[in-house]
Amino acid sequence: MTKRLALPLLALLLMAACTAQNEPVPAAAPASDAPAAAEAPSADAPAVTAPAEDAPATEPAAEPAATEQAASEPAPAAPVATTPPSGLVPGVDYVEIKGGQPYRPLEGKVEVVEVFGYVCPACAAFHPVVSAWEAKLPADVRFTYVPAPFGPEWIPYAKAFYVAESLGLVGKSHDAVIRAIHVQQSLPGEGDKPDEAAIAKFYAQYGADPKSFLSTMNSFAIDAKINRGKQFMIRSGVGSTPTIVVNGKYRVEGKGWEDKLRIADALVAQERAARQ
């Protein structure tokens, strides 16, 4: 197992992010279990980067019939301008996601999603900061983790997260997985050979059956959840981890962990006010 950063040294990564550098996340068909409203392997040293924007698609030339039909239809209404939260600068502090949707139906709540990766050093550095922030959120704000399934080292942990979630084990195991990878180095991390069996065995200490856990990791149901997470990330323009998305509408930018949470606070306050 290659040597990895321990958490005390991760403070040096406060401005870094684990960034997608290989193939972009492929679009996937909607998962069968996804509701209607439904960090990429990092380089050897995580670089300071803003989330990558999806490149605009090149529109094919319209067929004459299609052009005539479009001309006969009324022009779409101009988008209604939104007022940015006080003190925030659109395009600098956050990006408004065109056509964005929440990860799960809101059900009367404001949704905050953290897209993360267990092997991502920047996510490990961000974790204690965002965990303290999450603990103070109002009851009508729902905090949700979405694991980024980028690269061979990331995918097994994304699968394991969803299995643990289905078993109600995330609350017990989440911090421990991060410690095992980045401090104790008892689980494979960035640059190591993936080991699904070792990951499944790790969850046995929280009551999971390793054989059943491993089997479920490679099930159709977990594949569907992986695809659903990919779709959310593509829709939200997530290109690095950790990334915060509020209500599926706003992708938080910021210049550091505390700055990201300052921006998230303002966006959450705006969405709570609008809902009430």
What whole-number distance in Å separates Cα of residue 115 and Cα of residue 15?
16
At 275 the pLDDT is: 85
Which CATH code is given to the segment(s) 7-20+35-48+82-275?
3.40.30.10
Is residue 148 within 8 Å of 156, Cβ to Cβ? no
Mean pLDDT of 84-101: 91
- From start to end of 216-274, where are the E strands? 240-241, 243-246, 250-252
35, two tokens: 């509701």
Q: Could you give the angle at the alpha carbon of 148 between the alpha carbons of 155 and 217, nearest 5°?
A: 35
At 59 the pLDDT is: 35
Mean pLDDT of 222-244: 97
What whole-number distance in Å separates Cα of residue 257 and Cα of residue 130?
8
Mean pLDDT of 90-95: 96
How far is C-alpha 52 from the chain's CA centre?
13
Closest Cα partner for 180 from 167, 195, 166, 168?
A: 195
pLDDT in tens, 131-188: 999 999 999 999 999 999 999 999 999 999 999 999 999 999 999 999 999 999 999 9
Mean pLDDT of the chain: 80
For a pLDDT cut of 90, what percent of the chain falls above it?
Answer: 68
* Domain boundaries of the chain, sorted by first residue: 7-20+35-48+82-275
pLDDT in tens, 46-92: 333 333 333 333 333 333 333 333 333 444 443 444 566 768 999 99
Single-letter code of the amino acid located at 218: N
Strand, coil or helix: 65 = helix
